[in-house]
Amino acid sequence: MKNLLRHLADWVTLPVLRLSWADRFAGFLSYQRRRATRRKIETRLYAAGVYGDEVTAGPFKGLRYPPLDQWASCRFEKIIGAYEHELHGLVTRLAATKQYDLIVNVGAAEGFYTAGLAMLFPKAKLVSFEGDEDRTRFCRNFCRINQVWERIETRGFCTAEDLVALNPTGRVLVWMDIDTGERPVLDPVKVPWLRGADILVELHDCLEPGLTPLIRGRFEGTHHIEQFTTTGLEYGRFPLLRDMLFNEIEALVGDDRRGLQDWFFMEPLNASRAA
């Protein structure tokens, strides 16, 4: 009987799912189920007191979040120190070896890197660009909670002209994640001061092919370029994931990226300008 039902389900569903609209709808339902599972587990762990508002690992350890009822993207991963773990070594290295007068966070979302970098670089001023006003409001509150707000300036959508207008002096770090917006914005011809800045940029070739070689070509003459690529997470490193089912782990820390992505950390060849 079980085999008969399985064959019947295959006969009905597989032809339908070959249709593009049906496949997209099924993908949407799967994503929504994952969100619901995540929320249920987070709420349970939060109520049990084993998952809270403070980042517990990684370079931003000690950073505090608003309560769970205030939504933030990838909150669980950020709290346990799993979010963009590929960059943790870089961030730690920068905090140990660099000082910045200005940090420009382009595509700041809810302000994880804005607040975190402000915490690690207490002498730096930060300009935070984010086009979504709800996320910007969260960022402002987030920075107030972490007592770095007095050094933060929040702005909206970022263009190359906005970067030109900053006209910074001193040591500058640009931290950029703008989901295929790199092409018009991250351009040293349009924004000459980028030639002397340290730059971390997340690239999105899986969404717009060719971005990685484009950005490399723009900066390889002026910067040393270090490349990082998304890798799998070692689940065993995170005690909260123990004793969970894989579908629950996937809901909590599974990567929402569409495919493999790279980051470039680009440091001016004339290192004295960025050190």
User: What whole-number distance in Å separates Cα of residue 274 and Cα of residue 125?
Assistant: 15
Q: What residues are paired with 199 via a beta bridge?
A: 174, 266
Does 62 fall in a domain? no
69 is a domain residue? no
**Number of domains forming the structure of the chain:** 2
Q: What is the pLDDT of residue 118?
A: 98
Report if residue 156 sits inside a domain: yes
The range of the structural domain enclosing residue 197 comes to 75-273
Asked if 117 and 22 sit in the same domain, the reply is no
* Contact call for residues 153 and 130 (beta carbons, < 8 A): no
How high is the pLDDT of residue 16?
A: 63
Q: What is the pLDDT, as a whole number, of residue 18? A: 75
What is the b/e burial string over 218-245, where b = at least 16 CB atoms within 10 angstroms of the residue's CB? bbeebbeeeebebeebeeeebebbeeee
pLDDT number for residue 123: 95
8 A C-beta contact, residue 224 and residue 267: yes
Residue ranges in the chain whose pLDDT is less than 70 = 7, 9-10, 12-14, 16-17, 271-275
What pLDDT does residue 273 have?
44
Q: Is residue 125 part of a domain?
A: yes
Specify the CATH number for the domain of residue 184.
3.40.50.150
On whether both 19 and 98 belong to a single domain, the answer is no
- CA-CA distance, 193 to 164, in Å (whole number)? 8
Other beta carbons within 10 angstroms of residue 208's beta carbon come to: 15
CA 222 from chain centre, in angstroms, equals 26
Residue 54 lies in a domain: no
3-state DSSP assignment of residue 174: strand
Q: Which residue has the tokens 């723009």?
A: 218
pTM: 0.89
- Same domain flag for 85 and 215: yes
- Domain presence at residue 200: yes
